[in-house]
Structure formats: structure tokens, C-alpha cells
Amino acid sequence: MGAVPLAGAIAQLSWLKGHPIAAFFVRKKPKEHGARLAVEGLANTGPIVCACFGVGRNTICDTIAGGARSAADIGAKLKAGTNCGSCIPELKRLIAQTGTRDPEQRKLAAAN
Ligand code: FES
């Protein structure tokens, strides 16, 4: 049995017993489909960056680590930045900070 069914069962049982445990799991590599997240479950998503869709900083950084290279990439995966757009500057900043170590790539990410 894998970690996901175990974590799910423990989370459910802990909730039924009145002492909920926020279960989550971390993949060695992000999924190659969907949101391409490496961390899933009830992990702390971090402070909300996109208020329109309730997307947290940690979720966004995980998506960047999974290959998102622009605000549009993040929007396609998480919807963040696809409504009012007020969070797009922060998305770009996070991409520039965490997306790459290459200075030229950082400049491109900040410009997109
Ligand atoms: S705050 Fe992100 S789209 Fe509105």
C-alpha cells in the first residue's frame, strides 16, 4: 500500500476521533499531469496570494518548481491571476525568485 491511501486513512480516522491531522504527501517528482504539484493534501498552502481563487504562496511556489515559467502557466494550472489580475505582479515576483537561478531567465520571467 502506498503513502497516499495511508495518509488519507489516518486523516479520516483522526477526524472521526475528534483530533484531526492535516495529512499531506510529497512526491519525489511533481506529477506529470494536472497541476503538476509535488505536494498535495492538507499541507499549509501559505499566505493567500490570489484572493480571487484562494491560492496560497506555497502552492504557487510548488507549481513553479513543477515547471511553471510565467503567470500564464500558473493561471493555466491553478487559475491564479486569471480573474482581476491584481496578483499577477506577485506571481511574477515569485517566478523570478524561485523559478530559476539563471539571471537572464529571471529577467524574462519578470517581464512576462
Ligand atoms: S487576486 Fe488573483 S486573479 Fe484576482
What is the structure's pLDDT at 107?
56
Among protein residues, the one with the nearest Cα to ligand 1's atom 1 is 50
Residue 25 has pLDDT above 70, yes or no: yes
Pocket mutation for ligand 1, best pick of 78, 87, 94 (most atoms within 8 Å of C-beta) = 87
Is the model's pLDDT at 100 over the cut of 70?
Answer: no
Rg (CA), the chain: 16
User: What percentage of the chain has pLDDT greater than the value 70?
Assistant: 85
Residue 45 CA, ligand 1 centroid: distance in Å:
16
Choosing from 86, 90, 93 the residue with most ligand 1 atoms within 8 A of its CB, the one to mutate for a pocket test is 86
Tens of pLDDT, residue by residue over 31-59, are 787 767 777 777 778 899 999 999 999 88
Q: Domains of the chain, with CATH numbers?
A: 1-41 (no CATH), 44-112 (1.10.10.1100)
Question: CB within 6 Å of ligand 1 — which residues?
Answer: 50-52, 80-87
Query: Whole-angstrom Cα distance, residue 66 to residue 6?
Result: 24
Q: pLDDT by residue (tens digit) across 54-76?
A: 999 988 998 898 889 999 999 99
Q: What is the pLDDT of residue 101?
A: 52
Alpha helices in the chain (DSSP H): 3-16, 57-65, 71-78, 88-94, 103-111
Higher pLDDT, 98 or 60: 60
